[in-house]
Amino acid sequence: MLIDDVTITVAAGHGGMGAVAFNTNLMSLGPAGGSGGLGGSVFVEGVSDLSALNNFRYRKVHKAKDGENGRPQFKDGHDGVDITLKVPVGTVIHFLTKRSHTEAGSHETKEGEDREIVRVGERILVVQGGRGGKGNFQFRSSTNTSPRQFQEGISGEEATLRLELKLIADVGLIGLPNAGKSSLLNELTNAKSKVANYAFTTLEPNLGAYYELILADLPGLIEGASSGKGLGIKFLRHVERTNTLFHLVSAESEDIADDYKTIRKEIGSYNKALLKKQEYVFLSKTDMVDAKDAKKKLAALKRLNRNVLAVSIHDWDALEKVKKILNKIKEKKIGRENS
């Protein structure tokens, strides 16, 4: 099961306490208390593993190490060890709450600025470790040669984070349940998606690779998905990150135009910008109806969108046409990366 939305709590380490100590060596009497170490910080780092959020399914609290206290003989405490949480590329980090601490007190903010991980290896600081307190050696002066002042360490920052994965794919396969998306993905990429003749076969996004392109089979949408019906908004967000849409409409449908319009309406209700994405429309499963019916339904779709192609996973010529479209998309991607 792919976890693509999880809420966790993160806490940075507290700064260590400064020490109060004095040198007992007669040749160098005076304060000798070391300062506390820095508290460890918490980072989030992008990885290619799409299942990385599964690690947070049961472990909801993550805390970095505290800094060590200062010690006698001018020895500062060691800094606390940072921790790095690995998340899939495409993860949006929502700061639901964040509490910061200073010598003057604490301050809490709610719903801070969202951050997102877009590259493997990208690293974002989410909570910073507290500063270590000064030992009494730092308070020495010409008028106070034996200070007993010291500082306690500052507490580390804390935050509640919502980690939301939005898949980054070159091509997203969309359509009503049982439109043939998984079958087409399998044929093009050997992704081994679950295939069966019933609605909602795909319960989570499936990915496949076609040379340099990533294709995502997005779970079947239905009327009302934008308001949470069926598999709902949980999967509509993945459409946001796809560059091109392959919209499949089953030739077995009784109302081709309505099926097409339903999906367009739902993605538009969720985010109007999605309607501007490049879209190719495929009349799928043409092998399941007679040729005359398929031709009639293809004409109906072409009245709604010019980029329409009849396709069946059993039709080699049709699949070659799909691959030709993918090759053009691939060439454009390579061109952008090299420019």
115-116 and 105-110 strand pairing: unpaired
pLDDT band at 221 (very low <50, low <70, confident <90, very high): low
Ligand-binding annotation for 285, yes or no, is: yes
In tens, the pLDDT along 30-50 reads 899 999 999 999 999 998 887
Ligand-binding annotation for 236, yes or no, is: no
In this structure, is the dihedral angle defined by the CA atoms of residues 53, 56, 61 and 65, taken in order, positive or negative?
negative
Ligand-binding annotation for 33, yes or no, is: no
In tens, the pLDDT along 192-217 reads 544 333 333 344 667 788 888 888 88
Ligand-binding annotation for 13, yes or no, is: no
pLDDT value for 235: 66
Among 84-98, 208-222, 253-267, 304-318, the range scoring the smallest mean pLDDT is: 208-222
In tens, the pLDDT along 134-174 reads 999 999 998 998 999 999 999 999 999 999 988 778 898 99
Question: Which tokens go with 85?
Answer: 């949480």
Among 67-81, 132-146, 219-233, the range scoring the smallest mean pLDDT is: 219-233
| Cβ atoms 229, 156 nearer than 8 A | no
Ligand-binding annotation for 232, yes or no, is: no
Nearest to 57 by CA among 12, 111, 121, 8: 8
DSSP 3-state of 265 = helix
Ligand-binding annotation for 286, yes or no, is: yes
Among 18-22, 123-127, 155-159, 306-310, the range scoring the smallest mean pLDDT is: 306-310
Ligand-binding annotation for 180, yes or no, is: yes
pLDDT band at 269 (very low <50, low <70, confident <90, very high): confident
Ligand-binding annotation for 179, yes or no, is: yes
Cα 112 to Cα 106: distance, rounded to the nearest angstrom: 16
Ligand-binding annotation for 91, yes or no, is: no
The correct answer on CATH 3.40.50.300 for the domain covering 169-338 is yes
pLDDT at 224 exceeding the cut of 90 = no
Ligand-binding annotation for 182, yes or no, is: yes
Residues 6+ away with beta carbon under 8 Å from 284: 175, 179, 180, 184, 248, 249, 250, 251, 311, 312
Domain boundaries, the chain: 5-165, 169-338
Ligand-binding annotation for 218, yes or no, is: yes
Ligand-binding annotation for 186, yes or no, is: no
Q: Locate the DSSP E strands across the chain.
A: 5-11, 22-23, 30-31, 42-47, 61-63, 83-88, 91-102, 105-110, 115-116, 123-127, 158-165, 169-174, 206-210, 213-217, 242-250, 278-284, 308-310
pTM: 0.70
Residue with tokens 């509640």: 160
- The predicted model gives 38-67 an average pLDDT of 94
83-88 and 42-47 strand pairing: parallel
Pick the CATH number of 5-165 from 2.115.10.20, 3.40.50.300, 2.70.210.12, 1.20.1250.20: 2.70.210.12
